[in-house]
């Protein structure tokens, strides 16, 4: 597997999708691993990274729900980073596409920490475990990642709004 085996490596002209979450140990890491696995399988020149607004809140390196789900889908753990990491401005600038996992939760954090980026980030609607079960959240991420990989494989990157598509 190209991406899983060379995670963190640089490939010429590779595009980066950045998944954002609060603690960077659950939703964003699942999206990162799943995207990297699927992108590798279909030959996309894209790689995912994930970062968190408050990774210090994470009480484990990777959620056990994520580990179990990745094992069920035969996605190697090497498709995600080894530890939660904090988002910084360079992460945003280096990314071709930035997706925060839950608009209601993350848009205020973007507005507070990176106000110039509020309109440049695409928001999914995948709430944390205080709002929805991990089974439902992970299934929603699978649906969103599948759709994103299909769009990118077709040569399209989804824009900020649902009806906006940017050609590459």
Residue 20, pLDDT score = 96
Q: Per-residue confidence of the chain (168 residues) as pLDDT tens digits?
A: 344 334 444 445 789 999 999 989 889 999 999 999 999 999 999 999 999 999 887 778 889 888 999 999 999 888 888 899 999 999 999 999 999 999 999 999 999 999 999 889 999 999 888 888 989 999 999 999 999 999 999 886 654 444 444 443
For the chain, give percent helix, strand, coil, nearest 5. Answer: 45, 15, 40
What pLDDT does residue 56 have?
82
Q: What are 136's strand-pairing partners?
A: none
The pLDDT value recorded for residue 29 is 93
pTM (two decimals): 0.83
**Distance between CA atoms of 97 and 19, rounded to whole angstroms?**
9
The CATH class given to the 2-167 domain equals alpha beta
- Is 17 within 8 Å of 51 (Cβ atoms)? no
Residue 20 burial class via C-beta count within 10 angstroms: exposed 0-12, middle 13-18, buried 19 and up: buried
How far apart (Å, rounded) are the C-alpha atoms in residues 136 and 105? 17
């Amino acid at each position: 597997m190209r991406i899983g085996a060379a995670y963190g490596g640089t490939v010429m002209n590779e595009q980066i999708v950045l998944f954002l979450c609060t603690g960077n140990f659950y939703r964003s890491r699942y999206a990162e691993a799943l995207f990297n696995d699927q992108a590798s399988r279909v030959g996309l020149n894209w790689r995912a990274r994930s970062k968190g607004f408050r990774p210090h809140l994470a009480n484990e390196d990777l959620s056990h729900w994520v580990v179990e789900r990745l094992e069920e889908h035969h996605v190697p753990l090497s498709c995600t980073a080894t530890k939660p990491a904090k988002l910084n401005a360079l992460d945003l600038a280096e990314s071709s596409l930035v997706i925060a996992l839950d608009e209601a939760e993350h848009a205020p954090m973007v507005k507070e920490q990176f106000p110039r980026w509020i309109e440049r980030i695409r928001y999914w609607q995948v709430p944390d475990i205080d709002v929805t079960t991990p089974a439902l959240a992970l299934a929603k991420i699978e649906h969103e990642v599948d759709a994103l990989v299909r769009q990118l494989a077709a040569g399209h990157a989804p824009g900020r709004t649902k009806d906006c598509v940017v050609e590459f």
